[in-house]
Structure formats: C-alpha cells, structure tokens
C-alpha cells in the first residue's frame, strides 16, 4: 500500500507553527534541510538587496556552538535541555552595508539611504532578515520539523569568531531545527501570555 502524504495547506502551516524547544536526537534528511534553508531566500528584500547568509551547524558541530554559548558547567538547571539535541543550528546573518551600497545605486540614490547605515530610520536589513526567518520557520513546519529562534545576546561576538563569520555581519539569533520530541512544542512562559485578539490591533480607516 503506498502512502500518499498530502502537504498541509498554508493556513494549516501558519496555524500550527509554534516554537519547539525539545528535539529528538535524530538527523534531518539532507533534502528536507536543503529545502528549509532555501526557503529563507524566498523572503522579500528591499531593493532586492542580497544581504543574507546562513551559517549552518550540523551533527557534532552543534556541540561547538553550545560550548561557546552554554558551557557544560552552566547547563545544570537549564530550562530546555532538549534544545541541545537539535541536530541543526542555523545562524541567519545580515550585512547592513549591502543595503547602503544598494541604495547608493542610481535607481535608489534619491532616497538618501545610500550614504550610511545611520541614515536608515527603519533598518531594512532586520526587516528582511525577519521575513527570511519566518519563511524558514514556516518551511520547517510544512516539513514536519520543529524550530526555535532564540537570541544570541552577549554571545554574538564569540559565536562569530568561533565559526569565522566576517565582522560586517550581524546575527539575528540562532534557529534550532529538528524533529520535535513528544511535547516539544510545550509553550514558554512568553507563549502562554494571553493571545492578542488581532481585531483589537487592526485599525481600519483610522487608528
């Protein structure tokens, strides 16, 4: 009997996506991983600027990441021990200067954004980076994987130097990817906050 697997609809993927903080110690199929990583490059980008890179750590290389950011001596009492089982860690990186350079081009120069990063009231590199992350998270969900985007906080520099990231890149955080352990989508304290009713935030015609 052949098993016909049906892809979930976009609405199902969007509704099902929750952060996962507990993973099975099981690798991700390389084709699936490739598909999920490539999804990040399907996000919109201001000026179609090409400023995103992904640092991908697989298998035993993830242990190097954890050595840097959560040394063994600090692991006791860590709230999400199953996070360390994630078989893949992805660090999305953005290069702000790519936007400055792009907006100095003749078709964008009139914006005045092609002079320096601090000319940007709204840093599009973080907007586009967020869209890339969301595309990746949804692609992971669509393929039955769990994912968590978490902050690097004061480890950004140490992670960058450990893995050779050029100094003009900013890490948006780290995305753990893998097969969810049963109950792996147990919500964090943040996710348990009462959900906002979108209707109260959608301001039609006037705020």
Ligand X SMILES: Cc1cc2nc3c(=O)[nH]c(=O)nc-3n(C[C@H](O)[C@H](O)[C@H](O)COP(=O)(O)O)c2cc1C
Told to check if 150 binds ligand X by CB under 6 A, we report: yes
Write the DSSP assignment of 34-74 as a string of letters. Answer: HHHHHHGGGS--GGG---EEEEEEETTHHHHHHHHHS-GGG
Least CB distance from residue 101 to ligand X, whole Å?
Answer: 26
Per-residue binder mask for ligand X (CB under 6 A), 82-101, x = binder: --------------------
134, 136, 160 from 142: Cα distances, Å? 12, 10, 30
Out of 81, 151, 157, 158, point to the residue binding ligand X (CB under 6 A). 151
Which residues are CB-neighbours of 6 under 8 A, at least 6 positions away?
none
Contact region for ligand X (CB under 6 A) — 56-64, 87-95, 98-106, 185-193? Answer: 185-193
Interface size with ligand X, residues (CB under 6 A): 10
Out of 8, 43, 123, 173, point to the residue binding ligand X (CB under 6 A). 173
Touching ligand X, residues 1-40 (CB under 6 A): 18-19, 21
Pair of tokens at residue 126: 């973080």
Which residues are CB-neighbours of 1 under 8 A, at least 6 positions away?
none
In DSSP terms, which residues pair with 125 in a beta bridge?
A: none
CA–CA distance, 54 with 68 (Å, rounded to integer): 18
Least CB distance from residue 206 to ligand X, whole Å?
Answer: 29
Least CB distance from residue 100 to ligand X, whole Å?
Answer: 23
Binding site for ligand X (CB under 6 A): 18-19, 21, 149-151, 173, 188, 190-191
């Amino acid at each position: 009997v052949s098993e016909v697997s049906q892809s979930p609809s976009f609405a199902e993927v969007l509704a099902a996506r929750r952060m996962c903080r507990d993973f099975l110690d099981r690798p991700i199929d390389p084709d699936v991983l490739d598909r999920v990583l490539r999804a990040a490059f399907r996000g919109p980008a201001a000026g179609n600027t090409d400023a995103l890179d992904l640092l991908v750590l697989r298998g035993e290389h993830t242990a190097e990441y954890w050595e840097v950011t959560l040394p063994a001596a600090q692991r006791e009492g860590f709230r999400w021990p199953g996070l360390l089982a994630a078989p893949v860690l992805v660090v999305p990186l953005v290069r702000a200067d790519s936007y400055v350079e792009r907006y100095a081009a003749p078709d964008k120069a009139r914006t005045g954004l092609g002079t320096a990063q601090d000319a940007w009231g709204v840093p599009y590199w973080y907007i586009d980076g967020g869209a890339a992350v969301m595309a990746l998270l949804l692609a992971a969900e669509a393929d039955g994987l769990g994912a968590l985007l978490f902050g690097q906080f004061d480890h950004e520099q140490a992670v960058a130097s450990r893995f050779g990231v050029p100094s003009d890149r900013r890490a948006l955080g780290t995305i753990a990817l893998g097969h969810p352990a049963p109950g792996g989508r147990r919500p964090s304290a943040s996710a348990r906050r009462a959900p906002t009713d979108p209707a109260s935030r959608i301001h039609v015609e006037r705020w």
